Amino acid sequence: MSLFGYKAVILLLNVWIVNSSMFRNDCHVTTWTEWSLSGQYTESRSRKIIWLPPGGVSLCPPLCETREIKADCKVSEWSEWGGNFGFGQQLRTRNVTQNPMGTGNQCPNLIENRYIDKTPTVIETAKNVEQYFIRTRSNPYPGEWLHALVRRQTAQGSVRDLLLIMDSSGSIGQTNFQKANKEISTLIGLLCPENPFNKMNGQYQYNQAAMLTFSSTVYQNFDFDDYATTEDIQGAITKARYYGGGTNTAEAFIQALGMFQSSKGYRNSSEVKPEVLIFTDGQSNNRQQTLQAVEELRKVADVYGLMIGGFTERGKDELTAYVSAPINEHLFYVESYTELEALVKYLSDEKKQAGAWWCAPFNVG
């Protein structure tokens, strides 16, 4: 190679050295990693330094990037409309197939309730009361004899602290108030097990009951631990005083919330199922306050409603809003006190026919 050739090579080498990042203040980094979940609604990616220049990290580009995940809620198609219940209502539902994330659109309503021009028969309502209130779905049903033994062995009865809220307003009237109390006292006697509210050795082994009546004012008839036998509780219900006056349902729900306290004999919710059964024939005097109060009550107890009489669409909407979800398992309706009597008689006859199969065993440890 000629002298000129050597000089050219040396010149090119010097240019490369001068311009090389190893001898400049450039920072060399790897390529970005794939995006990965880094928080509930965020994901991030990172890269590493290959060459740190003499000037330090401050000369390097960002090594981490985070971005918000955005995903809209996705739902399934609507189910078919369900069976007739309540005031002549049907439900249909849909499920969430993808939860929303970040600023994605939230989920739409998952339940729709519509009225149809047909109320359930008394027997249809009685069967709903039996399945969803008197006996839980885990209990065996009369007539299913082929599987009853297996189901009875694997089912478990529900231990409850049940609060009754009885409408004592002027629209009820004293005669109908007494009829209602008589039928409700019979109804709760059908709960499981036999003698569902009897104490054992001074302690309630299974269920407890308390009661409020309401009109313009709310009256606390008895606490959860006031009576030692089912018969005594039934007697206290039938002897409750009628007051007349307005329909202050809001105050009834407020005081009901206060009944689920140890000072009222209420047991811990880890030991029992707290329940409310409200019997009423009309809208409240203060709809907004009532709905606010029952919303708080539903956070503490499962609220059932047994409604009676005639209602406007607005009234039906309000009373439907009292009960816990799913509403088709918590809302029951009869048009008259004759129908109420027929409903309770049907359930009493069903219990007699079922005999020992009426109740699932209780595991009270």
Q: Could you give all domains of the chain from N- to C-terminal order, each with its CATH number?
A: 120-358 (3.40.50.410)
Q: How far apart are CA 39 and CA 61, in angstroms?
A: 23
DSSP state letter for 134: I
The closest alpha carbon to 322, from 299, 300, 281, 290, belongs to 290
Alpha-carbon gap, residue 145 to 38, rounded angstroms: 55
Taking the C-alpha atoms of residue 273 and residue 296, their distance in angstroms, rounded to an integer, is: 17
pLDDT in tens, the chain (365 residues): 555 555 554 545 444 544 554 445 689 999 999 999 888 778 899 999 888 888 788 889 899 999 888 888 999 999 999 999 999 999 999 999 998 887 888 999 999 999 998 999 999 999 999 999 997 644 444 444 344 444 434 456 678 999 999 999 999 999 999 999 999 999 999 998 888 999 877 677 789 999 999 999 999 999 999 999 999 999 999 999 999 999 999 999 999 999 999 999 999 878 899 999 999 998 999 999 999 999 999 999 999 999 999 999 999 999 999 999 999 999 999 999 999 999 999 999 999 999 888 887 776 54
pTM of the model: 0.79
Q: Are 257 and 293 in contact (CB under 8 A)?
A: yes
Residue with tokens 């009292």: 322
Give the model's pLDDT for residue 31.
94
Q: Which residues of 49-64 are buried (b: 16+ CB within 10 A; e: fewer)?
A: eeeebeeeeeebeeee
Query: Of 351, 332, 345, which is closest to residue 191 (Cα–Cα)?
Result: 351
**Interacting residues of 363 by C-beta distance below 8 A, sequence separation 6+:** 156, 157
Q: Quick one: residue 309, left, alpha or beta (phi over 0 = left, psi -120 to 50 = alpha)?
A: left
Helices (H), 286-333: 287-298, 313-320
Are 44 and 38 in contact by the 8 Å Cβ rule? The answer is yes
Instruction: In whole angstroms, give the CA distance from residue 249 to residue 276.
Output: 13
Short-list 283, 201, 275, 273, CA closest to 247: 283
